[in-house]
């Protein structure tokens, strides 16, 4: 026989169990019908963060892209902008610079004309420099007691083929002094009408000029060909337009 007290306790336990199951079921149904709760935030754009500036520089944009890459952000590359100073015109003319054409046997001259004190003298078809007689006696006005140290043609002839420079001496002054090729600045101070001397191929060398010169450093002027010292140039001559004589 079941006691009344035990029956009451049993019924109470069953009631609370059913109540708990009912409350749990009701909560699940309510969540499935209403969906997850939503949290709304302020979606206004902060104008201090997003900036649209057409005048922003190329370097600034590149730095921004680098910063985004470093931060792992998605990179959007804009290709519509460029700066004028970054564009090189491939059709722009390139200035050609003439260079010294040295012979394979090029050397620094140390020959008989180093201590020469005799001027250039025109003799027939040549301009010559006389040296002392082989006996070692002092030079006299008589050519029989002198030897020719240098003979340049009185009139140079253009061969149409450029000749390389054999030594650092490319000519002589009217007074017989050697003209060193690297002394362009020394002679460029003279006017372009001043005759300095003659090159080893017989053509005259004049003072500095602003007129355009050929690859060898000469031009046609006053009915003939001549070389000019070029202001700011490294050399008087880059090559010979005629055939140069060989210095002794």
Q: Using one digit for the tens of pLDDT, what is the confidence trace for 202-212?
A: 999 999 998 99
Cα-flanking dihedrals φ and ψ of residue 81, to 5°? -105, 150
pLDDT of residue 14: 77
Cα-flanking dihedrals φ and ψ of residue 103, to 5°? -75, 160
Q: How many Å is the maximal CA-CA distance in the chain? A: 173
Q: Using one digit for the tens of pLDDT, what is the confidence trace for 173-230?
A: 999 999 999 999 999 999 999 999 999 999 999 999 989 999 999 999 999 999 999 8
**23 or 16: which leads in pLDDT:** 16
Above 80 in pLDDT, residue 37?
A: no
Q: Using one digit for the tens of pLDDT, what is the confidence trace for 162-176?
A: 999 999 999 999 999
Beta bridge partners of 129: 150
In sequence order, the 6+-apart residues with CB closer than 8 A to the CB of 238 are: 98, 99, 100, 101, 165, 215, 216, 217
Residues 116 and 128: beta-carbon distance below 8 Å:
no
**Beta 195-199 vs 218-221: how paired, if at all?**
unpaired
Q: Using one digit for the tens of pLDDT, what is the confidence trace for 108-155?
A: 999 989 988 899 999 989 999 998 544 343 344 445 557 889 999 998
Residues 190 and 179: beta-carbon distance below 8 Å:
no
């Amino acid at each position: 026989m079941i006691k009344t007290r035990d029956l009451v306790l049993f019924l109470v336990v069953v009631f609370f169990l059913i109540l708990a199951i009912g409350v749990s079921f009701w909560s699940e149904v309510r969540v499935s019908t209403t969906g997850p709760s939503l949290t709304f935030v302020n979606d206004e754009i902060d104008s201090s963060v997003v900036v649209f500036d057409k005048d922003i520089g190329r370097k600034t944009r590149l730095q921004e892209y680098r910063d985004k890459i470093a931060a792992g952000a998605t990179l959007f590359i804009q290709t519509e902008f460029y700066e004028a100073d970054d564009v090189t015109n491939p059709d722009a003319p390139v200035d050609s610079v003439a260079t010294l054409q040295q012979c394979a046997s090029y050397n620094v001259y140390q020959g008989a004309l180093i201590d020469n004190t005799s001027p250039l003298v025109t003799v027939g078809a040549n301009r010559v420099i006389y040296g002392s007689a082989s006996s070692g006696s002092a030079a006299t006005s008589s050519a029989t007691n002198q030897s020719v140290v240098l003979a340049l043609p009185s009139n140079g002839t253009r061969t149409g083929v450029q000749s390389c420079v054999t030594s650092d001496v490319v000519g002589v002054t009217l007074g017989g002094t050697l003209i060193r090729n690297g002394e362009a600045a020394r002679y460029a101070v003279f006017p372009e009408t001043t005759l300095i001397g003659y090159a080893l191929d017989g053509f005259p060398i004049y003072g500095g000029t602003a007129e355009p010169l050929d690859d060898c450093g000469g031009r046609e002027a006053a009915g003939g060909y001549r070389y000019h010292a070029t202001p700011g140039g490294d050399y008087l001559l880059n090559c010979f337009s005629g055939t140069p004589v060989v210095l002794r």
